[in-house]
Structure 1
Amino acid sequence: MTKGIFASVLVSAAMAVGLAAPARAEFPEKPVEMTILFGSTAQTIGQLLADLMSKHMPEPVVPVARTGGGGAVGYQHVHGTAADGYNIVWNSNSISTSYHGGKIGFDHTAFQPIAKISVEVPAFAVRADSGWDSLADMAADIKASGAKLKVGASGKGSFTHLSTEAILAAVGLSDMAVHVPYDQGRAPVELIAGRLDAALQWPGQFISHHEAGTLKILCVTSAKRISQLPDVPSCAESGAEGLDLVMWRGLAAPAGTPPETVAKLEEAAKMATESEEFKAAAQTIGFEVDYADHAAFGELIARDDRTIADLMGQLGLKAQ
C-alpha cells in the first residue's frame, strides 16, 4: 500500500470513529435532587418550585426532605455531593445562622448560588384576648407586671429564633422572656391553648387564625408592611425601632458546579417563578416572589452573612 493510500485509509478510519462516537450528553441526563431543609411553608414552596422547574427541564427536579439541625443536616448532605448540578439545596439565611452558630464547619462560599426565589417575612403573634395591640403595649405590660413572657421557639439558632431575640432586645424584654420549644408547625395551637404568650413564625401559619379573631398578629419583621398583611404594621412601627429582618430562599449547588449547568437550573427556576401558579401560591401561602439571578443572589448572600454574623455576635448567639 502506498503512503498516499495508507494516509487516506487512516483519515477515513478516524472520521468513521468520530462519527460513531456518541455526542457528549447535556445536563441533565437524570433527575436533579433538591434537598429541602425545613418543613411547613419552606417545604410547600420548595415542592411547588421543584414541580414547576420540572416542566422546563428534560429530567425532573425531585424534592427530598432532609430536615434537622436548623438546616445543618441538609447542608451537610449537599456539601458532600459532587459539583455536577444533580444535587441542589433549597437554601436560605439558615446557611449563615448554621455556620455562625457552630452547627456546620463551612460557610456560604461552599455553595454556588443558582437563583434567589422568594422572600418570607416572619410575623409576631399573640392571642386575640391578650389585650396587646402593639409590641410597645406588650413590653409595657410585661415590665409593669414583672411576669415572664413565654415566647415560642422553633429551634435555637434558627432564623426565627434570631429574629425573636432581636425583637425582645429592641423592646427591652431580653431578660424577661422564657423560650418555650414547640414542635414544627404548632405555633398557632400552642398560642391558642395558652402554653405560649407570643410566637414568631411565617405568616401562613397565622393568617387564618388572625382573620378568624383567635390570634392577633402584632407586627412583621421587615422594614415595610407586606402585601399579605397590609393592615399589620412592621415591628419597627410597633415598638422595635430599626428592626428589618427577612428570610430569603433560593437555590444553590456545591461550589465548582459548571457555569453552563448553573445557567440551565437558573433558567428553569426563573420560568417557574414567572408562572401564574407560583404567583398565586405566594398569596395563598404567604410569601413574596423575589427572583434574582445567580450573580445578584451571591452578592445578597455575602452581604446578609455579614449582617447575621454581627447580629448573632451582639446577641451572644455566635459560636466562639
Structure 2
Amino acid sequence: MLTTRHFAISLLAACAALASLPAHAQTAFPNKPVTLIVPNPPGGLVDGSARIVSDALAKVLGQSVVVNNQPGGSGNVAYGNVAKAAPDGYTLLTSYSAYHVGYPHMNPKLPWAQKDFVPVALVTVATNVIAVHPSIAANTLPEFIAYVKKNPGKLSYASQGNGSLSHMGTEMFKQRNGISMVHIPYRGSGAAITDVLSGQVQVFITTPPSVMQHIQAGKLKGLAVAGPTRHSGIPNVPTTAEAGLKGFELEAWVGIFAPAGTPPDVVAKLGSAIKLAMDAPETKTRAQTAGIEIRYKDSAALDAQVKTETEFWGKVITSSKITMD
C-alpha cells in the first residue's frame, strides 16, 4: 500500500520525470487553469470521478483544475464542445464509457466522433448493482427474474438516459434472461434515483455511487453486483455469479480525453500527472468512500479498450434496437 511518505518520494520522482520533457512543453504547459468538461449533471460516477481527479491533479500540476458540468443533449453538448476546443491540453473531456463507445452506433449525426479525441488516461471504474424497490416480492436475483417473468411488461426500469450504460446494460440483462420491462430514461442518476426510491420506477441497474447508501439504509434491495467480486461498500450483496447468473458482468469506466491534435508531449505530461494523482493515498480513500474504484490505464491501453468495447456494445445496441430518441 502506498504510504504518504512513499507518495512524497514518488511525487519528487515524477516531478523530475516531468521536468525532462521538451523545454517548450515545460514553459507552455500548464501555465493556467485546466478545465475538465463533464457530460453529466452533478452526482453519480462521472461527476464524482471528475471531482476526485480535479482535486488530486491540481496538487500535482500546481494549477487549478476546474470541473464544468455540461449535461445538455444527453452529453453531446460536452463532447461537441471539447471536440471543437483548442488542442492545447487546457480543455479536457471526462468521458463516460457508454457515451464514448455506444453513441456512435446510435446516431450517425453526432456532433462529434471518436477520432475527435485523443485518450489521455483511464481513471476510474465502477461495477453495476442490480437494485430494486422494497415493494418487489423478491429478495434474490433468481426470485426477481422469476417475478418479472410472471409479470411481463408490468415493471419499469430507470436509466440515466437513452444510450447510458444503465440503459444498454439492462437491455442486455433482459435479453439474457428473456424478460420484459419498460424503460424510463432520466437526465442523470439524481433524477432517476428519486423515482426509484418512491417506487414510481421499480428497478435500477447502476453504479454504486447512485444506490449504495440507499441499499445500506434498507431503502432499496441490492440483489447482485454485476462484477467479479463483491463491492466493499455493500459486502452483503452477492455477485451475479454467486447469485446464479454466471457470465453477466457490467462495468462502467471514466476516462480523460483531449481534443485531437493535442501535442503528444502535453498528453504524456497529463497522463503522468494523472497517474501520480490517482496513486495518492488520499485520492484512493476518497474514491473508496464514494464507491468508485481507481484503475489507471495509460493512453495506449485506454485506446485499445475503446476499440474493443465499441465493437462489443455495437452488437448489443443493434440487437436491442437501442436509439438515443
Q: TM-score with structure 1 length normalisation? A: 0.85
Give the secondary-structure state (helix, strand or coil) at the position aligned to 1:131. Answer: coil
Partner of 1:254: 259
Q: Contact 1:34 / 1:90 at 8 angstroms: preserved in 2? A: yes
Partner of 1:124: 130
Cα shift readout 1:38-59 (whole Å, capped 9, x = no counterpart) = 1312212212211211111143
Partner of 1:16: none
Give the secondary-structure state (helix, strand or coil) at the position aligned to 2:131. Answer: strand
Q: How does 1:142-291 map onto structure 2 within 5 Å?
A: 142-146=148-152, 148-173=154-179, 176-182=180-186, 184=188, 185-238=190-243, 240-291=245-296
1:47 maps to 2:51: yes
Q: How does 1:69-84 map onto structure 2 within 5 Å?
A: 69-84=73-88
Which of 129, 136, 141 aligns to 1:135? It is 141
In 2 relative to 1, CA 146–58 (structure 1 residues): closer, same or farther, beyond 3 Å?
closer
Matched to 2:92, the amino acid is: I
Q: Contact 1:167 / 1:240 at 8 angstroms: preserved in 2? A: no
Equivalent-residue separation in structure 2 for 1:259 and 1:58 (angstroms): 20
Equivalent-residue separation in structure 2 for 1:63 and 1:146 (angstroms): 42
Q: How does 1:105-120 map onto structure 2 within 5 Å?
A: 106-120=112-126
Cα shift readout 1:181-232 (whole Å, capped 9, x = no counterpart) = 4453134432232201211222122222212222111112224433333332
Please list every run of 5 or more consecutive structure 2 residues that lacks an aligned counterpart in the other structure. Answer: 1-22
Matched to 2:235, the amino acid is: P
RMSD between aligned alpha carbons?
Answer: 2.1
Shift of 1:144: 2.3
Q: Contact 1:135 / 1:171 at 8 angstroms: preserved in 2? A: no
Shift of 1:242: 2.3
Partner of 1:6: none
Partner of 2:34: 32
Which has the larger Rg? Answer: 1
Equivalent-residue separation in structure 1 for 2:75 and 2:238 (angstroms): 29
Q: Contact 2:162 / 2:323 at 8 angstroms: preserved in 1? A: no
Matched to 2:120, the amino acid is: I
Shift of 1:130: 2.2
Equivalent-residue separation in structure 2 for 1:194 and 1:132 (angstroms): 15
Please list every run of 5 or more consecutive structure 1 residues that lacks an aligned counterpart in the other structure. Answer: 1-22
Give the secondary-structure state (helix, strand or coil) at the position aligned to 1:155. Answer: coil
Equivalent-residue separation in structure 2 for 1:228 and 1:32 (angstroms): 32
Partner of 2:299: 294
Shift of 1:147: 5.6
Q: TM-score with structure 2 length normalisation? A: 0.84
Which of 79, 99, 117 aligns to 2:104? It is 99
Shift of 1:109: 2.8
Shift of 1:78: 0.4
Give the secondary-structure state (helix, strand or coil) at the position aligned to 1:28. Answer: coil
Matched to 1:131, the amino acid is: A
